[in-house]
Amino acid sequence: MTEKEVFEYMESLQGYGIVPGLDGIRELCRRLGDPQESLRFVHIAGTNGKGSVLAFVSTVLQRGGYRVGRYLSPTIFDYRERIQVGGRPIVRGMLCRGMELVRECCLGMQQDGFPHPTPFEVETALAFWYFQMKRCDIVVLEAGMGGSLDATNVISNTITSVITSVSRDHMKFLGDTLEEIAAQKAGIIKEGRPVVTLGQTQEVLEVLKRAAGERHAPFTVADAAGASHVRYGLDRQRFDYGGFKKLEISLAGQFQIENAALAVETLRVLGEQGYPVGEEALRAGLWETAWPGRFTVLRKKPWFIADGAHNEDAAAKLSQAVEFYFTNRRIIYIMGVLRDKEYGKMIALTQKRAEHIITVTPPGPRALSAYELAREIAAVHPKVTAADSLEEAVEMSLLLAGEDGAVIAFGSLSYLGRLTELVKGRQGASVSKKGGSV
């Protein structure tokens, strides 16, 4: 297969949708030789924060000298980013070779009367194959939307399970209550293997504790509230936690302190399980961790922030961060969402601070159009404009914000890669002009 054929093949699979369950991925992995059985995993589930915790943990482990695979979704800039070893995306040649093998297995399954695997199952199996080929010491694995019935849960060799913040999202598949959603997330906990989480609502914590107890899994709660001497900032944040003084991260957002504390606790548990890292690697890895699209600063004058807040809990955290970092500044929002999200609640949580809201249409068949979203917003906010293109939205937002305002682009991660390119390209062009500024 060529890279073009890989993308065409993945596009052709979209009709298979989302099918929770492990039968398909088990059969697909079996036909590939069960590559996951030769690997060891840190398995991360949760509603929000999974990607950030994955980034912190994997970067520190790499700094500690381990060959680390990481599997994540969705991606911002390049499809290949979802499968990485040593922080580098899967190489094109291996992507083509691996996908051809996986496609052959899928065709064989169909011929033998099995349902065709879903796109996520195909990608997950490909990731396992690649990590085995690269002889990874450890794989940091992000679950998809669930836990117990998620394709990633086909693994058995979990070193540590990690459960990030649990809130309402994907209720069509995971359940209507926090307890039901938490039970799905808790499905990644393995018999006798430690699990680490952070402070949750009481009902969520009880579900997680019960699941850990039933599986005799040592249970640790990271005390993120116990982080002290916290100094917040958009370029650098500093805090004390777990006996370490003046830990620093470059990721912005108050919530990243919680995610970093959870990562530190996870790394402590991993050390007890035979994967230690020294303090120097811990400090360097935390500071070097980058995670695009999570309250990411794209430029200053005006401030331009990209954030993948795409559900109620993430929107609440985004609103708190905007209030904290940009008090008394003019706020311009760019918002683009998927049709199957609770965008009404997202609007309610974020609209109060906005001077103007610009809506865009994200790519893909699940997108809510800019015009439909603008109609929803207009019911509660007087100043909203539906942009015909992302380029128009960026241009308009910068004009409205002026040098002293702040533009916050949020919602679906699917449009933030292109937005980032537009903003940084525009900034680069302005810098190249003698004495010029945007």
Q: Are 124 and 30 in contact (CB under 8 A)?
A: no
The per-residue pLDDT for range 388-414, each reduced to its tens digit, is 999 999 999 999 999 999 999 999 988
State residue 436's pLDDT score. 33
Six token digits for residue 19? 């099918």
Residue pLDDT, tens place only, 284-307? 999 999 988 889 999 999 999 999
Q: What average pLDDT does this structure show over 141-156?
A: 92
Determine the CATH number of domain 296-430.
Answer: 3.90.190.20
Which has the minimum average pLDDT: 119-128, 216-225, 310-319, 328-337?
310-319
Indicate the helix (H) or strand (E) that contains 416: helix 416-432
Domain layout of the chain by residue ranges: 3-288, 296-430
Residue 435, classed as helix, strand or coil, is coil
Q: Residue 281: which pLDDT band, with cuts at 50, 70 and 90?
A: very high
| Rounded Cα–Cα distance for residues 260 and 49 (Å) | 10
Measured in whole angstroms, how far is the alpha carbon of residue 105 from the centre of its chain? 29
Q: With contact defined as beta carbons under 8 Å apart, do 82 and 6 qualify? A: no
Selection from 57, 25, 276, 46 nearest residue 129 by Cα: 25
- Please, what is the average pLDDT of the chain? 92
Higher pLDDT, residue 308 or 361 = 361
pLDDT of residue 254: 86
Q: Which residue has the tokens 């190489």?
A: 91
Q: At the topology level of CATH, where does 3-288 sit?
A: UDP-N-acetylmuramoyl-L-alanine:D-glutamate ligase (3.40.1190)
Of the pLDDT bands very low, low, confident and very high (cuts 50, 70, 90), residue 172 is low
Handedness of CA 169, 174, 175, 177 (dihedral sign): negative
Structural tokens at position 23 = 């039968």
Q: What is the pLDDT of residue 36?
A: 98
Q: What is the mean pLDDT of residues 155-159?
A: 97
Q: What pLDDT does 362 receive?
A: 93
Could you tell me which residue, 282 or 167, shows the higher pLDDT?
282
What's the mean pLDDT in 156-162? 97
Contacts of 113 (CB under 8 A, 6+ apart): none
3-state helix, strand, coil in the chain (%, to 5): 50, 20, 35
Confidence of residue 374 (pLDDT cuts 50, 70, 90): very high
Give the mean pLDDT of 348-355: 94
Q: Taking phi first (over 0 means left), then psi (-120 to 50 degrees means alpha), and beta for anything else, what does residue 281 get?
A: alpha
pLDDT band at 383 (very low <50, low <70, confident <90, very high): very high
What average pLDDT does the segment 235-262 reach? Answer: 94
Q: What per-residue confidence (pLDDT) applies to 174?
A: 66
Reply yes or no on whether the pLDDT at 438 is more than 50: no
On the question of pLDDT at 434 being above 50, the answer is no
pLDDT of 435 higher than 70: no
Mean pLDDT (whole number) for 325-336 = 94
State percent of the chain over pLDDT 90: 78
Residue 109 has a pLDDT of 97
Output the pLDDT for position 427. 63
Average pLDDT over residues 167-186: 75
pLDDT at 171 over 60: no
